[in-house]
Structure 1
Amino acid sequence: MRERQAETPYRVAVLVTDETSAFEVGMATAVFGPYLGDLIPGRYELRLCAERPTSVPLAGGAVLTTRYGLRQLRTAHTVIVPSSADLDVPPSDALIEELRAAHRAGARIVSTCTGAYKLAAAGLLDGRRATTHWRWAGLLRTRHPLVEVDPNPLYVDEGDVLTGAGSAASLDLFLHLVRKDFGTELANTVARRLVIQPHRDGDQAQYIEASVAAPPEDDGLARSMAWALKNLGGPITVGTLAREARMSERSYLRHFARSQGISPIRWLISQRVRASLPLLETSQASVEEVSAAVGFESPVTYRHHFTKIMRTSPSAYRRGFRTVQVGREAAGPDALRTVAP
């Protein structure tokens, strides 16, 4: 993947084609564009790129005007391919070649919703796990049998290629990119500015079959989850959570899956990894100490789950995102108390 030079912003190229989702283009613009310039000055440089740099009709009747063409993709750090309405119109040979060229040049390629179809047409998803909007996952699997299509997660991170479910889940994917690029603190700050949840795990289900009105047992779930977040450093089992929720283990497992779309254990692992990020970014604690502070039984287990979720090791993450504040010493062991019971 293309490395960022000091003081040089990451260039984010958003592909805009006929009938592209204005919603997804807008979300990319909100996160990587000038709207958040005061929060992330000099971090990103956004360019909207079209096959024919002129006025492009978007889905819903809006028209977007841009002066950037496809060649911009080759010099981008990140290329975002949003969804488009007409899946029966294949991408042009020129577009496919530019996507391949961008990937060869080291760009991180990202799709949202049916943008995955363009990545698949370029062969960038062959042999990879990928997702798209659940409604169009079956067709993607049929058209591109070499792609391991998973219709369930919000997004899939394969390192140099990421695919998302689209629609509102695009924001989850974009925050994930900010988190990978510049750390948890900045991603959380962006989320607060956009008034959205700071983090939803990529493996969380795209949709959950549930009624609009929350059933009474959801209060117990919320209580148990809040308790867990305050006690990540200690031993937590499904039985422990069920007791906090005042349910049987069987009922708790059923209600948790219905409400959150994942199992309690997977949720807990995700929260522990998430809690470890600011410790890696700002503290002097060793990986072993961080592992214990967030409740993993061993550093080996911690490294396994961290690498699976973050697509890099804890040590590599620390090297990439360790922050040094002028005039302040990095947080010492006391920082670990934020997650210890």
Structure 2
Amino acid sequence: MSPIRVAVFAFDGVSLFHLSVPGMVLGADNGAGLAHYDLQYFAQAPGRVRSDQGVGIDVDYGLEALDEADIIIVPAWSDPEVPAPTDVTDGLRRAHENGKLIVGLCLGAFVLGDAGLLDGREATTHWVARDTFARRFPETLFRPDVLYVADDNIVTSAGTVAAIDCCLHLLRERHGSDAANHIARLLVTPPHRPGGQAQYIERPVPKLSNDNRLPGVLEWARENLSEPLSLDTLADIAKMSRRTFTRRFREATGTTVTKWLNAERVARAQQLLETTDMPIECITSEAGFGTTLALRQQFAAQLGTSPSNYRRHFCKTRVQ
């Protein structure tokens, strides 16, 4: 299987974290039988660049890497008020015209905006620069409230950890949720569920719980999603009062029990749709939805699509 070539832009002042994220996610062992990701780092010209942490980085490739790459990733740009160099934006436009997938992590969305790639498209960036982004790119359909947005072959993400979410999304698009969840476990980060065709909605990283019983309850619930779980059931498993459990649960997950269960059940249904030929009715029962109508309603609310369309989408797009 031919490797998928990924070119990551390095420049003076580049975020060392964001520069590392594509390699952490796409460069990891993503499971047997999946395509290998060949990562290259490029700059305006080969040579040394200095990161935001003062670390010097030797870069072997120049802008010619744009012509060879299948995926181009731009880490967080160092100053949202400073336009990206013209030769870089020209190269990104050519790459876009040639059908490359182009990703802007965090403030990297500004570089895509400078290249004119966000006009008429949904996009997001770090919340600290939302006013600057809206002012500089008024033709963009700005989505400041999400972690990442995929609009055709342009993907942008919000800040910091959302870069990991975004790269997990790239992996999930090609290989399905099992591969993405495998990498998420290696990184000790929660797997993020995909949204609709043009946008993949957010799932906030849970806060750490002060009680070590709660993680075990969450795992137990995931293993018993087909059962009619309730707040009282989970509180009993945790050996907490209903009130204490409700408070601890929100602290740990950032959401309510009902919303969490619906999200986990949709994630389970996604996995079954991707990996089995089970009828929708059986998946409905296995995921813990009482009726197929409830399953379809949750898919529409969370993913912006139907179970049948989701299955068709992944059967066509996943790399075998």
TM-score, L = length of structure 2: 0.78
Equivalent of 1:316 in 303, 313, 316 = 313
Q: Summarize the Cα distance change of 1:158–1:305 in structure 2 as closer, same or farther, 3 Å threshold.
A: farther
Equivalent of 2:85 in 79, 88, 92 = 92
Is 1:55–2:48 an aligned residue pair?
yes
Hey, what does 1:43 align to over in structure 2? 36
Hey, what does 1:21 align to over in structure 2? 15
C-alpha contact 2:148 2:155 (8 A) present in aligned 1? yes
Equivalent of 2:242 in 233, 240, 247 = 247
C-alpha contact 2:105 2:157 (8 A) present in aligned 1? yes
C-alpha contact 1:19 1:57 (8 A) present in aligned 2? yes
**1:117 Cα deviation (Å)?**
0.9
Q: Which runs of 5+ in 1 are unaligned?
A: 1-6, 324-341
Q: CA RMSD in A?
A: 3.5
CA distances 1:149-184 after superposition (whole Å, capped 9, x unpaired):
333433223342222223233222212211221122
Secondary structure of 1:110 counterpart: strand
Is 1:165–2:162 an aligned residue pair?
no
Secondary structure of 1:114 counterpart: helix
Secondary structure of 1:313 counterpart: helix
CA distance in 2 between partners of 1:50 and 1:142 (Å) = 28
| Worse-superposed segment, 132-141 or 255-264 | 255-264
CA distance in 2 between partners of 1:291 and 1:256 (Å) = 25
Is 1:199–2:186 an aligned residue pair?
no
Is 1:103–2:104 an aligned residue pair?
no
Hey, what does 1:301 align to over in structure 2? 297
Q: 1:314 is matched by which residue type in structure 2?
A: R
**1:36 Cα deviation (Å)?**
3.7
Equivalent of 2:4 in 10, 14, 27 = 10
CA distances 1:1-33 after superposition (whole Å, capped 9, x unpaired):
xxxxxx221111111122111111122222333
Hey, what does 2:106 align to over in structure 1? 113
**1:259 Cα deviation (Å)?**
4.6
C-alpha contact 1:57 1:64 (8 A) present in aligned 2? yes
Q: Summarize the Cα distance change of 1:259–1:131 in structure 2 as closer, same or farther, 3 Å threshold.
A: farther
Hey, what does 2:197 align to over in structure 1? none
CA distance in 1 between partners of 2:30 and 2:319 (Å) = 22
**1:82 Cα deviation (Å)?**
0.4
| Worse-superposed segment, 50-59 or 66-75 | 66-75
Secondary structure of 2:242 counterpart: coil
**1:188 Cα deviation (Å)?**
2.8
> Percent identity, aligned pairs only?
31
C-alpha contact 1:307 1:314 (8 A) present in aligned 2? no
C-alpha contact 1:153 1:204 (8 A) present in aligned 2? no
Secondary structure of 1:162 counterpart: strand
Hey, what does 1:279 align to over in structure 2? 272
C-alpha contact 1:30 1:36 (8 A) present in aligned 2? no
CA distance in 2 between partners of 1:322 and 1:86 (Å) = 37
C-alpha contact 1:270 1:309 (8 A) present in aligned 2? no
C-alpha contact 2:273 2:310 (8 A) present in aligned 1? no
Count of matched residue pairs:
304
TM-score, L = length of structure 1: 0.74
CA distance in 2 between partners of 1:57 and 1:310 (Å) = 47
Q: Summarize the Cα distance change of 1:76–1:17 in structure 2 as closer, same or farther, 3 Å threshold.
A: same
CA distances 1:125-168 after superposition (whole Å, capped 9, x unpaired):
23333222222223212222233333343322334222222323
CA distance in 2 between partners of 1:28 and 1:36 (Å) = 13
CA distance in 1 between partners of 2:257 and 2:152 (Å) = 26
Hey, what does 1:181 align to over in structure 2? 174
C-alpha contact 1:204 1:261 (8 A) present in aligned 2? no
C-alpha contact 1:50 1:66 (8 A) present in aligned 2? yes
**1:264 Cα deviation (Å)?**
4.8
Note the 1:249-268 alignment, pairs <5 A: 252=246, 259-262=252-255, 264-268=257-261
